[in-house]
Amino acid sequence: MAKSGTIKPDDFSEEISAQRLKSSLWYAIITVLILSCFLVPLQDGNLSFMFSLMMWVTLATGINFIAGFTGYMPFGYVAFYGIGTYVTAILVKVLGVSEYLAVPAAGLSGILLALLFAPTLRLNGIFFAIVSLSLAVVCQRLMSLMPEEITGGSHGLNLGVATDRTHGYYAMLIIMFVALVSASWLGQSRLGKALKAIRDDPDAADAMGIHVSRVRLYAWIMSAFFAALAGGAQAWFTGALDPITAFDVLITAKTVIYAMAGGLGTIIGPVVGTVTLVWIDEIVWQQFPVLNNFLLGLIITLLILFMPRGVVGSLMQRFPHLRKYIM
């Protein structure tokens, strides 16, 4: 085909440079984040808070794959997290497996559960949400119903002194790192573009040759994988779990809010949203514990009404030239 006058000859290399700029900024941000998390134990900092931060960043980044990129809002996201905690705890406490193996195994269990729940992706918007939520409730009830020797029934399990806290902390750091790198990759890959096409118009994507059910399954598995790993690391770090907290709907809620506040569908969004809101949450919780859930509810209400695309998303809408810098 003849080249037209309007296309610049070095267009593609310009495009590459622009991508490089975007990813450099992004890598800078996550390097700062990872370094600061890395240094905390060495400086006797607040391990619990930083662990929590890393966990929420992982969860928010994870949910972004299926929600922000593919357009499915999994209201039962906590099911994968919960399975991760339980598989890790059972392997360590009941079967005596080392945590270093148990946590990756938890990730695997997340993938298996995702495959089991994959048929729900055929459902449209609101049915998907309700079924997702119901499945999480079913998982929770199942865990409390199972024999006490295995799952600890409704009291849960206590790993006691078997686990090393600091190692659990670093496990979470590694998991967060992998999640962020995966997100970087997805944001620039063809898979990422295909997912967004599915989000915007699945039938048109289908007619254009995208294998919709296969492609969105990849995003679904990725999301589940990181949630399960996060759960596993949590079990390692805190050494205790019970069915109520492991499958708490508030975990899904907070993940969604943190990711949305930043901006679903962007890569930076979930990180920015999580770090900001987790800090605010910590400050508010110290001073006004009762106000906490109210504020959470208020934030999500205001977000949906006024900034459904989150801070980053709305900024990119208002100021399109920022898109050059934001991944």
Partner 1 sequence: MNTILLLNGLVGGVIFGAIYALIGCSLNVLCGVLRVVNFAHGEFIIAGSFLSYVLLTLFGLHPILSLPIVTIAFFLIGFGLYYLLIPRLAKSDEPETSSFLLMFGVSLMMIAAMMWIFEADIRAVEFSFDPINVSLLVIQDAYGEGRDGRVIVPTARLVALGINALLIIVLTYFLYRTLTGKAIRAAIMNREAIQIVGINIHSLSASAFGLAAALAGITGVVLAFVVPSIDPNGGQDISLIGFIIIVLGGLGHPVGALIAGVLFGLVEQIATVFLPQAAAQMLGFIILITVIFFRPQGLMGRMTLR
Partner 2 sequence: MIPKIVLELKGLNKSFGGLLAVKNVDMLVNESSISGLIGINGAGKTTLMNCISGIYRADSGSLDVMGVSCLNWSPHDIARLGVGRTFQIPRIFKRINLIDNVMVPALNDNTDNKTLYERATECLDKVKLYDLRHNNAEELSGGQQKLLELARIMMFNPKIILLDEPFAGVNPTLCRLMIERIKEMREEGKSFLLVSHDLTSIYQLSDHIYVLNQGQVISEGNVDYVKNDPEVIEAYLGNA
Binding residues for partner 1, per CB under 8 A?
71, 73, 75, 119, 123-127, 129-131, 133-135, 137-138, 141-142, 144-145, 249, 253, 256, 260, 290-294, 296-301, 303-306, 308
Q: Which residues pair with 241 in a beta bridge?
A: 157
If you ran DSSP here, which 8-state letter would residue 319 be given? -
State which H helix or E strand residue 116 sits in: helix 99-117
Place of tokens 């910590």: 282
Q: Which residues pair with 158 in a beta bridge?
A: 240
Number of residues that bind partner 2 (CB under 8 A): 29
Residues 57-116 touching partner 2, rule: CB under 8 A, are none
Note whether 167 binds partner 2 by CB under 8 A: no
In the complex, minimum distance from the CB of residue 205 to partner 1, in angstroms, rounded to a whole number? 16
| Alpha-carbon gap, residue 26 to 173, rounded angstroms | 17
**Site for partner 2 (CB under 8 A): which residue of 37, 175, 205, 272?**
205
* DSSP per-residue string spanning 171-207: HHHHHHHHHHHHHHHHHHSHHHHHHHHHHH-HHHHHH
Report the Cα 137 to chain-centroid distance in Å.
Answer: 19
Identity of the residue, 149 or 203, whose beta carbon is nearer to partner 2 in the bound complex: 203
In the complex, minimum distance from the CB of residue 213 to partner 1, in angstroms, rounded to a whole number? 15
| 226 phi and psi angles, rounded to 5 deg | -70, -35
| Alpha-carbon gap, residue 312 to 293, rounded angstroms | 24
Residues 233-292 touching partner 2, rule: CB under 8 A, are 265
| Alpha-carbon gap, residue 327 to 68, rounded angstroms | 13
| Alpha-carbon gap, residue 292 to 285, rounded angstroms | 6
Identity of the residue, 6 or 124, whose beta carbon is nearer to partner 1 in the bound complex: 124
Q: Could you give the string, one character per residue 12-41, with x where binding to partner 2 holds by CB under 8 A and - elsewhere?
A: x--x--------------------------
Identity of the residue, 52 or 188, whose beta carbon is nearer to partner 2 in the bound complex: 188
In the complex, minimum distance from the CB of residue 165 to partner 1, in angstroms, rounded to a whole number? 30
Note whether 6 binds partner 2 by CB under 8 A: yes
- The entry of partner 2, partner 1, none near residue 28 (CB within 5 to 8 angstroms by kind) is none
Q: Which two tokens stand for residue 174?
A: 């590694």
By CB under 8 A, name the binding residues for partner 2.
1, 3-4, 6-7, 11-12, 15, 190, 193-194, 196-197, 199-201, 203-211, 265, 320, 323-324
